Structure 1
Amino acid sequence: MNRRTLLATLAATPLAGSVLAQTPPGPVPASGRLIELTDVASAHVGARNVTIWLPPGYEAGTDRYPVLYMHDGQNLFDPAKANFGEWGVDEHLTRLIANGQARAPIVVGVWNTPLRLREYVPADLITALPDDIRQTLLGMYGGAPLSDGYLRFLVDELKPVIDRDYRTLPGRSDTMISGSSMGGLISLYAMMKHPQVFGAAACLSTHWPLRLERLDGDALAQWRETVVQTWSRVIADGLPDPATHRLYFDRGDETLDQFYAFFQTRIDETVRGAGWGPERFQSLVFPGAEHNEKSWNSRLDVPLTFLLSPTRVAS
């Protein structure tokens, strides 16, 4: 895809994560139970829907379960509700659980709103930038970040309800968060801002700041270098203790994902430099993977088994 074609595609399609992964052989029937909560109110952000997936066996037993919070919740379970395609989270987890490859979780899919970009862009990363770059990004994202309020909704309002109404394991070691594209960025930020709540984050095709037009040559290189240096510093200062947390990144190398290597490589260096070893930190590249739900669906087994491995390292 050439640059002009890519720009035209981006202009017509809002950012929405995606990457290719191995698709399991044969059809896998969904199992478990979906519960839809509509117009969940918040004192910090606008109301939104929330979809909860209860794993197979939940209603017949008394066990408690880890909880995985996921962004862009309308795209996780039901193709009829999805904006750009479905992740198939229930199908993947049903198979992984049956095969003993993953712990059975409760999944909380938090739907996005028209303010998605502002809710998902980390406020601390924007604030740290030089004024000219900050103003450019604010224009790209549509205004000042709303991410701190969004995370307060998750932590102070939604999580207490989930822990009250369902048989959860509410501690940090059993509370995880994940998303793609801007959802990957806010997942990282959630673990940085609320390390006492989220013990692990999986960030697929994380959308780092890009400028695909208006800057060329040295000016573009300087813009990117300033952003990555600033964000690396903020992330280094904000990362939680690797002894108690786990972090997963991945990306493809096609469509929008092809532009992430510069940023992701530097952020990976920052994380490893902070003492995160391979048991706690993974950053993978999926050759041929694009930036879309089909790609994320195809490789979803990988982050799910990282987050929910039955033999996970204790926190």
Structure 2
Amino acid sequence: MKLIKLGICLSLLFASCKSESTKKSNDEEAVINPKTEINFEPVTGVELSGGKLLRAENFPSSYIKQRPVDIWLPDNYSSDKKYSVLYMHDGQMLFDAKTTWNKQEWKVDEWATQLQKDGKVQDFIVVAIHNISDLRWLDLFPEKAFNFIDPQTQQELRNIPMAVEFKFSGDNYLKFIINEVKPFIDSNYSVYTDKAHTFVMGSSMGGLMSMYAISEYPDIFGGAACISTHWLGSMPMANNPYPKALFEYMNANFPQSQDQKVYFDYGDKTLDAHYPQYAKQVDDVLEAKGYNDTNSKNIFFEGADHSENSWNIRLDQPLVFLLGK
């Protein structure tokens, strides 16, 4: 396979834009005892517009390489009431542009603070899982989708040079969230634990992983926001087999519309220029699974590119869609 020379560096898929299918449920035993002491300390040197940010520098895991996990708590967080939980990927890119590699951010604290203050969304906290640059693509690719590619092509893909071993870890990444992070959050913070109040969101590869999360764990997540979803699956290449495999996976495994909310969006600049061609396939999956305008979105943002600066302009839309009152 010949990679198309588009001048997009490979690190786009690994950092945060340098940056059988058996359904699981919450009856899986947590690997980490939720009462295990894990120290979340206030993050210093981060400027927030509201709320506070706590971090465990190396959240323990039996599934994936340890990494930082952040918790954003809104102003006046109180144990006297319950909060919904939004799990987000690429956690280091969400809150303060001064600390990110490209000096851009999602402005999660700005939007979450304002929308809660205005009463447009239910009270919620954010659990932000950091990526590890070299492992990001392997962690966030929907692992079982690879099974929809024929064996010969699978081997050709494995032969494409990479900086690390070609070994998908998307299933273990989800087990990390479901069996290790979520039980800790549920036991140590004043949150609802049911699917109606548990959501997942990400962009690019994080968009794919959010789609995968709700497909593999429909009894855990009640909604997913998939922003600038990277339907290419990998770097742009001729005769790319990943998009077909991803949609075949979705046709077989994406959850039916009962008690679910799903949000997709895309632009048409930089890497997002590759995504409009897949919009109809997304719509077709949603229709086949029984979704309508009340519980699903697939929105085109003309002129939007593939960057945190584009995502932070429209972040209110997925937040209100998933968490709106």
Match of 2:138 in 1: 118
SS in 2 for 1:80: helix
Following the alignment from structure 2 to structure 1, what is the Cα–Cα distance between the partners of residues 130 and 108? 14
Q: Distance in 1 between matches of 2:157 and 2:296?
A: 28
**Aligned ranges for residues 1-40 of structure 1 at < 5 Å?**
7-11=6-10, 13-14=12-13, 16=16, 30-40=49-59
- Secondary structure class of the residue paired with 1:160: helix
The amino acid across from 1:105 in the alignment is F
Which residue of structure 1 lines up, in the alignment, with residue 35 of structure 2? none
Q: Give the structure with the larger helix fraction.
A: 1
The 2-side partners of 1:146 and 1:227 are apart by: 16
Query: CA distance change for structure 1 residues 232 and 155 in 2, over 3 Å: closer, same or farther?
Result: same
Alpha-carbon distance change, 182 to 212 in structure 1, aligned in 2, over 3 angstroms: closer
- Partner residue, 1:287: 302
Q: Deviations over 1:257-282 (max 9, x none)?
A: 01112223212212212211111110
Q: Matched residues, percent identical?
A: 34
Partner of 1:237: 252
Pairing partner for 1:278 from 269, 277, 293: 293
Q: What are the ranges of 5 or more consecutive residues in structure 1 without an aligned counterpart?
A: 19-27, 216-222, 311-315
- The answer for the alignment partner of 2:70 in structure 1 is 51
Shift of 1:102: 1.4
* Aligned partners of 1:44 and 1:149 also within 8 Å: yes
Contact 2:231/2:246 (<8 A) preserved? no
In 2, distance between residues paired with 1:178 and 1:140? 30
Higher relative contact order (CA 8 A, sep 6+): 1
Q: Distance in 1 between matches of 2:320 and 2:170?
A: 27
Matched, 1:144 2:144: no
Cα distance between partner residues in 1 of 2:157 and 2:273:
20
Q: 1:140 to 1:154 in 2, by over 3 A?
A: farther
* Conserved 8 A contact 2:255-2:289: no
How far did 1:29 drift?
Answer: 6.8
Query: How many pairs align?
Result: 288
* Contact 1:34/1:53 (8 A) holds in 2: yes
- Aligned mate of 2:318, from 278, 292, 303: 303
One-letter code aligned to 1:55: P
Which residue is 1:25 aligned to?
none
Answer yes or no: is the 8 Å Cα contact 2:13–2:205 preserved in 1.
no
Deviation at 1:211, TM superposition (A): 6.0
8 Å CA contact 1:236–1:271 kept in 2: the answer is no
Distance 1:31 1:211, change over 3 A: closer
User: Any stretches of 5+ residues in structure 2 without a counterpart?
Assistant: 19-46
Tell me what 1:83 maps to.
Answer: 101
> Offset of 1:244 from its aligned partner?
1.2
> For residue 32 of structure 1, what is the amino acid of its counterpart?
G
Question: How far, CA to CA, are the matches of 1:187 and 1:12 in structure 2?
Answer: 20
TM-score of the pair, normalised by structure 1: 0.85
